Amino acid sequence: MIGGIKMFKIGDLVYVSNPDTEYENEYVKRTHKSFFGTVTEVEDCGDEIRVDVKFPTTPNGSEMEWSYNANELSLAKELKDMTIEELSNKFNLQIFAEYL
């Protein structure tokens, strides 16, 4: 983090931890079919760091790539020690899984 701004690099695995709802209300709602995405570009725009994130292809073949302010994202590795219950509660997710 530099000067309170999170720094990311191309290839980082991230998730949207703090979406800018004002931006989404004014421009477009960014919907996600996947929880995690990969940073594809990082650009210093002076007053903000813009981060492009590509999300995995969904079963129907859709690809999603969205741009974010760096403050909207967090590194996925920050979640590595969370239990499924903690993850579900933190993000209001419904997780379906089975033991293999």
H or E element at residue 25:
helix 21-26
Contact 65, 53 (CB under 8 A): yes
Strands 64-69 and 73-75, bridge-based pairing = unpaired
How far, in Å, CA of 31 to CA of 8, rounded? 21
The reported pLDDT for the residue numbered 59 is: 72
pLDDT digits (tens, 9 = 90+) for 25-41: 787 776 666 778 999 99
Q: Dihedral sign, CA of 40, 89, 1, 70? A: positive
**Total-model pTM:** 0.71
The reported pLDDT for the residue numbered 100 is: 59
Given a cut of 70, the residues of the chain with pLDDT beneath it are 1-6, 30-33, 58, 61, 95-100
